Structure 1
């Protein structure tokens, strides 16, 4: 279903009166929008955001986002693959604070048995988070927020940690080198991560717009000036070269500080401001999309050692590997930097012991007991 199908509900701000059934589930969600858009527009956008979040709680997934308008997902470009049908919603709370309208609702969503269940694999690939720099540092002069990139990266790491296997926070920027000959290019840092077996995924980004109007003294004195917050995010598989996520996120919110104020973006007061809350909501969307993008990946493990006891693999409990998981041996040969040939050995191995960052596997069939393992071979999970 798409947000377009929700528009009739968005136009009606009073609770619906459809009867409840014993099979319906209620989900509570919150949305907000800047009052600078106007009260009615802010209420509609907050409602759209809350309904989308409720659908996501019920098992929906976002499949396409091509544009963002005023910090909100554009209904014309947002596809929601839902696991249920929105039947009713009730607005339980609405209030205004720090230039934003906040709305809390409870949505009645009926399960849809005809849809396939969402991927719920146990594999959690290691993620390295690269620092998000400011593309235009001169835009940070208002508020002297030149260390906003560091604060944003730390906030995103905080949001990601409970839901993904965040292994490394890089104190520098790592980006794709688009000048290299093979699309999507050989990663400057991704290949390093893969070769050192630190993290499989590389999450990088850049804050490309925090601009605001110059404005005169009267505007700064008597109104909160709007300020942009725009981020380009990329999630890459450093082992296969696949780009799992590349998306532009944008929002705008009132900047409630004086023209010559020095704002401490590392402190909680900033994140409680209207601009900080808007930025935090955008980072929550990024974290949600990252979680979804890596949720259905197939585990790929490097072979550390082969002995009489079995095979040591560089994935363990931290990556969601557990005893009984089965893997197939793949012969992988590098033809030249960035190019590989892969051949399945049709030999299966089963995890006997799973430790924090490694596992011990033993042969599961006759081919596995006879196969010869050579440097570069890998193991891929069998779903």
Structure 2
């Protein structure tokens, strides 16, 4: 017998395949309504539906919170997430029946590329702000007049992220969130304690904040840029331009912070080197056409591409979240809309955001699951509106609280 009001957390694993396999081939059917005789849109929607079915058939985790109230079983806060990534999608058959378009697809489901614990973010577009990359030793940028790398690097990185991932990157290169480049990402609180948590995140209004520090831009051999060099040294350097003596290093640290709590989620150091063959008096500036023509510029581009790829891989399995901007009875407005992939009928879980203080009076952000599911009823490009099953004031849901899709 179940006692009333007892909540039971249940996790059901459905699988007829061994997850030790890295990839399996699945076939599944999907359908979509045809609106205004738009066959192409219906076909795309049907294929998407079919691929989702293929992934779910291969292996799915269904997690829910159940409750018994006066002998009646109710299920709220249900989440369904696939374990695998799909590739090699092939349409096997297509047919139209009335206003419905049906397709049958075959796809490879790769578990190795899937996210742990079934987290997928539901394919929504997560937002990141890429802030400045201050120089640990500013004088190292004098060679080539590259001091603008501190702000321009975020611009280049933002563009690369937007072109090669499902992240929406905002260029915040004029904002330096690292108070001390030498100690980043650590900062000291007024009470003397050290923390890796950012001091402010609210004004950026994004899910994740990317920052970093440029720690080295030196030449391997400083003699090749000696201002007191003579004609013979110049001639030798030009002949020997491919030697390691002309290598210039670039080392930077990368940090990802959570935009709601400020917590440090990821850090990594990157390093590369490329030949710098310009005259010591040359001042091409960072990201100029002359800079990219240098081997050093090409190696820098490769490093930026690697950083963008790592950011996408690291954040791909993070949950999607958005800030609640308005609440009214059982309606909630939140700051993500059609541009982020939100659709009418989508379901997101509501979390209460609060602050608490430790014994040493350090403030921390806490997100508490209300066990309430919001169903999206209206979508605009930049925001959406969702409806709760009951009045949100019961759980004191208010602006700055959060909706999350795992």
Rg bigger for which structure?
2
Displacement of 1:345 in angstroms is 2.4
Q: Which residue of 2 aligns with 1:166?
A: 169
Is contact 1:211-1:227 (8 Å) kept? yes
How big is the shift at 1:381? 2.7
Post-superposition Cα deviations, 1:35-59, rounded to whole Å, max 9, x if no partner, equal: xxxxxxxxxxxxxxxxxxxxxxxxx
The alignment status of 1:259 with 2:274, answered yes or no, reads: no
The answer on 1:279 being equivalent to 2:282 is: no
1:373 matched to 2:396:
yes
The answer on 1:289 being equivalent to 2:310 is yes
Q: How many residues align?
A: 272
Contact 1:201 1:235 in 2 (8 A): yes
Structure-2 residue corresponding to 1:186:
197
1:141 aligns with 142
Distance of 1:116 and 1:146 partners within structure 2: 39
Tell me the residue number matched to 2:43. none
Q: Distance in 2 between matches of 1:310 and 1:375?
A: 11
Aligned partners of 2:193 and 2:352: how far apart in 1? 22
Alpha-carbon displacement from aligned partner over 1:255-307 (angstroms, at most 9, x marks no partner): 12123222233322311221100000000000111111111222233222223
Q: Deviations over 1:158-191 (max 9, x none)?
A: 2112232123424131124521377743313xx2
Mapped partners of 1:198, 1:341: distance in 2: 17
Contact 2:256 2:265 (C-alpha < 8 Å) held by counterparts:
yes
- Indicate which of 242, 251, 267 corresponds to 1:246: 267
Residue number in structure 2 paired with 1:298: 319
User: More displaced, 279-288 or 307-316?
Assistant: 307-316
1:309–1:279 CA distance, 2 compared to 1 (3 A) = same
Matched, 1:350 2:372: no
**Residues 205-245 of structure 1, C-alpha deviation per residue, up to 9 Å, x if partnerless?**
12111101221542533323111011111111121333232
Output the TM-score relative to the length of structure 2: 0.59
| Residues 324/183 of structure 1: CA separation in 2 closer, same or farther (3 Å cut) | farther
CA distance in 2, matches of 1:340, 1:289: 27
What is the TM-score of this pair, normalised by structure 1? Answer: 0.62
Find 1:208's aligned residue among 192, 195, 215: 215
The structural deviation recorded for 1:342 is 4.2
Please, which of 221, 234, 246 is the counterpart of residue 238 of structure 2?
221
- The 3-state SS of whatever aligns with 1:323 is coil
The answer (yes or no) to whether the contact 1:332–1:376 under 8 Å persists in 2 is no
- Deviation of 1:357 after TM superposition, in Å, equals 2.1
Q: Aligned in 2, Cα 1:113/1:170: closer, same or farther, shift over 3 Å?
A: closer
2:114 equivalent to 1:117? yes
1:74-113 to structure 2, matched below 5 A, reads none
- Superposed CA deviations along residues 78-124 of structure 1, whole A, max 9, x for unmatched, are xxxx989xxxxxxxxxxxxxxxxxxxxxxxxxx78564635473222
User: Any gaps of 5 or more consecutive residues in structure 1?
Assistant: 1-22, 24-81, 85-110
For residues 308-347 of structure 1, the aligned pairs below 5 Å read 310-336=331-357, 338-347=363-372
Q: CA deviation at 1:354?
A: 1.9
CA-based RMSD of the aligned residues comes to 3.1
Is the 2:125–2:341 Cα contact (8 Å) retained in structure 1?
yes
Structure 2 unmatched ranges of 5 or more: 1-24, 26-83, 87-107, 179-184
